[in-house]
């Protein structure tokens, strides 16, 4: 598996992502509305097949992970994407990485905390506000929990 840094998603990767039913190119969170294909990214690729993707935004003091997808779970792809973004952050002299997930995303909360990210803030009803911009955000998560709040996690490098 190769983990490749991209200034933005190239057309080959993008067309591969569009073939996936579970890929959405738009993200709305409390920090903004993002078109993922226009963001810098790290892609996990093997034999021209995309197995994972992390997109991020660069700020003055930190990097923010906007999205992370592993299309082959429990194979270490997500953890490798995090390691790569941490290296990128350090190369850019950023001392922190921030990520936002939602209250019902138990898998993400486990994953980030396992990788030494710490919960620092909960934004109550943030997803309710995001639905005003992107009404397709589901009301209920896969696990039956109502999706309402954002949880902010950080990792200091």
Mean pLDDT confidence for 118-140: 96
Percent of the chain topping pLDDT 70: 92
Q: What pLDDT score does 75 carry?
A: 84
Q: What mean pLDDT comes out for the span 87-107?
A: 97
pLDDT at residue 18, rounded to an integer: 65
Q: With beta carbons less than 8 A apart as the criterion, state whether 68 and 79 touch.
A: no
Mean pLDDT for 136-156 is 96
Please give the pLDDT value at position 11: 67
Contact (Cβ atoms closer than 8 angstroms) between residue 26 and residue 34:
yes
State which residues form the domain around 134.
Answer: 2-156
- Proportion of the chain in helix, strand, coil states, percent, rounded to 5: 25, 40, 35
Instruction: Give the confidence band of 73 by pLDDT, cuts at 50, 70, 90.
Output: confident
Q: Which of 41, 94, 33, 38 is nearest to 63 (CA)?
A: 94
Domain count, the chain: 1
Considering only 4-8, 27-31, 88-92, 125-129, which range has the smallest mean pLDDT? 4-8
Average pLDDT over residues 113-119: 97
Q: Given this model, what pLDDT does residue 59 score?
A: 96
Angle, vertex CA 108, rays to CA 124 and CA 28, nearest 5: 50
| pLDDT per residue as tens digits for the range 20-67 | 666 788 999 999 999 988 999 999 988 878 899 999 999 999 999 999
Average pLDDT (64-74) is 89
| Domain CATH number, residue 15 | 3.40.630.30
CB atoms within 10 A of CB 74: 7
């Amino acid at each position: 598996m190769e983990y490749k840094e991209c200034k933005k998603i190239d057309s080959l990767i993008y067309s591969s992502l569009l073939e996936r039913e579970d890929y959405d190119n738009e993200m709305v969170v409390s920090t903004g509305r993002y078109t993922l294909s226009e963001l810098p990214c790290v892609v996990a690729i093997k034999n021209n097949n995309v197995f994972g993707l992390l997109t991020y935004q660069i700020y003055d003091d930190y990097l923010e992970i906007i999205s992370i997808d592993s299309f082959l779970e429990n194979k270490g792809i997500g953890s490798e994407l995090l390691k790569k973004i941490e290296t990128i952050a350090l190369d850019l002299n950023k001392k922190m990485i921030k990520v936002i997930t939602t209250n019902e995303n138990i898998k993400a909360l486990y994953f980030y905390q396992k990788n030494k990210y710490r919960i620092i803030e909960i934004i109550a009803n943030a997803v309710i506000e995001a639905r005003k911009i992107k009404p397709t955000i589901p009301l209920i998560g896969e696990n039956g929990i109502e999706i309402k709040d954002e949880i902010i996690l950080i990792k200091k490098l």
